[in-house]
């Protein structure tokens, strides 16, 4: 197994970090997309990479170019300028960039599967919709995904105040940092509403979409999982007892995944293998 950690150039040419685990015998890749206030080395994601590479897939996890982390400090939110100017459109551009980078610098795969956590799940759906006619597109698995972007924005007076000031601050529950977010992310959504319609994109993916959610998720209600599954004529797979991060925390110092995340990976692998065999 070869593991390479390097950088790619994402939205607006901004350099960011990625790690890819490769085996010469593997012909399929899983691209893992982290969520809001997330990063590639969060919690147990490295163990998720190990799990899938041990089960026949190459695996790539990467930092979004404007997630607030840096090349030198890929697990800390130190670049407020990048974080505050992030948009959903930039994250979609990052996914295109990392896939192009892998094809140019590593190898060409028979199939590329997408796994996205939380907001990353929505990004996986949108990216897959954009890429759905491509012969390499494999399965899309969402873990605790949001089903709608507009619901993430404030309404009424709070939205008006954000527009007036141009910036709002969101607390990171783990680090207690007050992270800035420009009104640009809202205007980007309004200007690109059709392209960023998660439900419409999910509907177009049909049997390629597999939706997973924790029954005790307090960050994204499981009703959003049912919503995604319904439009794709699929089933929402609920991990009973699991929270938004499936029992993981950051940092994660244990050598094995938490029970709920292990179960999630097993269920996800079942669908990847089943579709591979069909």
For residue 277, pLDDT over 60 is answered with no
Q: Where are the domains of the chain?
A: 2-152+193-277
* 113-150 pLDDT, tens digit each: 999 999 999 999 999 999 877 789 999 999 999 999 99
- Check residues 183 and 275 and name the one with the higher pLDDT: 183
* 198-214 pLDDT, tens digit each: 999 999 998 899 999 99
So what's the pLDDT on residue 131? Answer: 85
* 70-107 pLDDT, tens digit each: 999 999 999 999 999 999 999 999 999 999 999 999 99
Gap between the Cα atoms of 172 and 211, Å rounded? 26
Architecture of domain 2-152+193-277: 3-Layer(aba) Sandwich (3.40)
pLDDT above 70 coverage of the chain, percent: 99
- pTM, two decimals, is 0.97
99, HSE (Cβ side, Cα atoms, 13 Å) = 24
């Amino acid at each position: 197994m070869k593991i390479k950690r390097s950088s790619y150039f994402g939205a607006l040419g901004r350099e960011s970090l990625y790690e890819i685990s490769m085996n010469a015998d593997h012909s399929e890749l899983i691209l893992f997309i982290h969520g809001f206030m997330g990063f590639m080395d969060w919690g147990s994601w490295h163990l998720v990479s190990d799990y899938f590479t041990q089960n026949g897939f190459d695996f790539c996890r990467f930092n979004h170019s404007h997630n607030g982390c840096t090349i030198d400090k890929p697990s800390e939110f130190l670049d407020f300028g990048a974080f505050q100017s992030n948009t959903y459109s930039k994250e979609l551009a990052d996914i295109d960039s990392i896939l192009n980078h892998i094809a140019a610098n590593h190898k060409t795969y028979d199939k590329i599967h997408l796994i996205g956590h939380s907001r990353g799940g929505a990004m996986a759906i949108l990216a897959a919709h954009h890429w759905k006619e491509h012969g390499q597109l494999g399965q899309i698995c969402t873990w605790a995904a949001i089903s709608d972007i507009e619901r993430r924005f404030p309404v009424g007076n709070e939205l008006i105040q954000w527009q007036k000031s141009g910036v709002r601050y969101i607390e990171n529950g783990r680090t207690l940092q007050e992270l800035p977010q420009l009104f640009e992310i809202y205007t980007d959504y309004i200007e690109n509403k059709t392209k960023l319609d998660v439900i419409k994109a999910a509907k177009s993916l049909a049997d390629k979409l597999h939706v997973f959610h924790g029954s005790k998720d307090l960050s994204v209600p499981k009703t959003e999982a049912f919503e995604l599954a319904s439009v794709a004529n699929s089933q929402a797979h609920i991990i009973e007892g699991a929270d938004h991060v499936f029992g993981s925390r950051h940092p994660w110092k244990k050598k094995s995944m938490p029970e709920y995340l292990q179960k999630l990976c097993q269920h996800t692998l079942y669908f990847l293998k089943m579709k591979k065999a069909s």
